[in-house]
Structure 1
């Protein structure tokens, strides 16, 4: 692996880009505080009278040949529709002075969202958090089932080709290149998941009872709890996919815990109170698919981000142990 530019230097460059982009938004006297440097680089923006989230998006984030401005604008169009049509608490998309959802600075697509308050409960969750998250997930699916996306709406399609083929790029590395970076035992496990899921996904097809617009990343670090409110964040992965994958995502990290059965029951009960559950026969297969998606993404990001590179071996070992439970 070539020597990586330090995280500090990468973040400093993205901070300059963010400040240039903010000139295109109605934000007075912005002050930036770094949040994260991963798929996107994110900053909290404190202005004279309110707070925002600034995102500097990675090129080719949504697949090769996809216009990032269109893809990010489509994400924000769904957020705007959720705000207009429901009482779900989702980030408020902020238009640039041009009237567009995004702007471009230093060749990077940038977007601004309203700030969401609340606390993450990922470190020490209780069943009540999963029950409430299940209910919120069902309500998202209810909206997606009836909402008609506007003309020109473009988001990822989370199907077999996206999960297991060469559609995506992770950290600027093609998906096929990420497969080549995997340790041999993990590569063999991923091959087996891909084989199984080709049959599973072919059987499910894209019928409305199985497939629709999903968040695709609604784990407990993307849900903020504030009293009785649950505020959702990070729709960056949203796209067309399997309802069952959306249910698998929040369960994935907790499958090895002693209280996993209670967690699973709470999430499913919360969902079923708001929407009929899809057939759960392949839930564990979709949890395994999440292992694959996370592993390929992490392997690619480790080629460009030193923080990911430092943790790569540990993450691959964890994924191998996770898949050992189901393969």
Structure 2
């Protein structure tokens, strides 16, 4: 992004933030990816996350669903985003961005100070630290799922679903990954083969085993903020209904090429089991969900060319094909 575009976005943010009752001292751009995120500092000393949501990703009702769930998680003692309302009592407002020629929903949440668990791992990649971090991540995932399974959904609650259709159906939530333009004919055939196999597995496995509920769906260490002994979860943008093993697969998938991946996988399962049971048959599906994450990520990248994530494609494609062959054989 050039300085002119950043200046224009900051100007739009300054206008939009006026809907909230804040004495703003500074606004700075944090990231411009699928969402545009600003940090807002105020005279009170409280900082905020000011988020311009990706257009078309969620309806207003689905955004309210995210807010309802994060509020319920906070009430249960799980640290999640705290939304702030406008003077008119709205959690979301619609703002036109002339520099992007589009309208976006905008929301304000309290900023959480601390260190991202991913940064802590980068600073100390020793096996013992990785085990410690992913054990905590597993415990937190289980606590999220305990709350979600027990929570009675509010009337009219809406979020997307990472179920068999949402992951492997004809119109998956992140798009038809098997049609990615970078796939060779052989790679496409292998991925379609895996997709067909996985669709059958998920359909037969079903949603009635206590392993399906609302999930964060992006619970990697970059979205876990550590302050002392407390871990706070951020970025519920992808949250929706899904299998608990997918939650765990997302958390560990980035670390598949590390020499300690087996220890990471064992640690997140061990942490999870301290808070919530999983049957051996449920755990045995984890490699399938790790493969699912790689495959659907191809669709995610294809849907977001503006993010220039093409450098990730060779690894994702190779990993998807190799894991597919290991699980389901070659075609």
Q: TM-score, normalised by structure 1?
A: 0.87
CA separation in 2, counterparts of 1:205 and 1:9? 51
For structure 2, which runs of at least 5 residues remain unmatched after alignment? 97-102, 325-331
Q: Are 2:148 and 2:214, in contact at CA under 8 Å, matched by a contact in 1?
A: yes
Deviation sequence 1:237-279 (CA, Å, 0-9, x none): 1101111101111111112221111111111111000000251
Does the 8 A contact of 2:295 with 2:320 survive in 1?
no
> Residue 31 in 1 paired to residue 26 in 2?
yes
Q: Which runs of 5+ in 1 are unaligned?
A: 1-5, 63-67
- Classify 1:30/1:188 alpha carbon distance in 2 versus 1 (closer, same or farther; 3 Å): farther
Out of 141, 145, 153, the position equivalent to 1:141 is: 145
State the Cα deviation string for residues 46-87 of structure 1 (Å, max 9, x = none). 11121000110111113xxxxx22111110111111112x22
Of the candidates 57, 66, 75, which is equivalent to residue 66 of structure 2? 75
Alignment partner of 1:126: what SS? helix
* Alignment length (residue pairs): 306
Partner in structure 1 of residue 241 of structure 2 = 240
Instruction: Tell me what 1:90 maps to.
Output: 80
TM-score w.r.t. length of structure 2: 0.86
Q: Report how far residue 320 of structure 1 moved.
A: 2.1
CA deviation after TM superposition for structure 1 residue 181, in Å: 2.7
Call closer, same or farther: CA 1:166–1:48 in 2, change over 3 Å.
farther
Contact 1:222 1:234 in 2 (8 A): yes
User: 1:138, 1:7 → 2: CA distance?
Assistant: 42
2: CA distance, partners of 1:127 / 1:266: 5
Does the CA contact (< 8 Å) of 2:166 and 2:173 recur in 1?
no
Say which one has the larger Rg: 2
DSSP 3-state at the match of 1:43 = strand
Equivalence map 1:86-125=2 (5 Å)? 86-106=76-96, 107-122=103-118, 123=122, 124=125
CA gap of 1:17–1:165, structure 2 versus 1, over 3 A, is farther
Which one is further off, 87-96 or 47-56?
87-96
The answer to whether structure 1 residue 152 and structure 2 residue 143 are counterparts is: no
Tell me, yes or no, if structure 1 residue 210 matches structure 2 residue 207.
Answer: no
Equivalent position of 2:179 in the other structure? 179
Mapped to 2, the partners of 1:166 and 1:90 lie a distance apart of 33
SS at match of 2:109: strand
* RMSD value, Cα: 2.1
Task: Measure, in 2, the Cα distance between the counterparts of 1:89 and 1:108.
Answer: 26
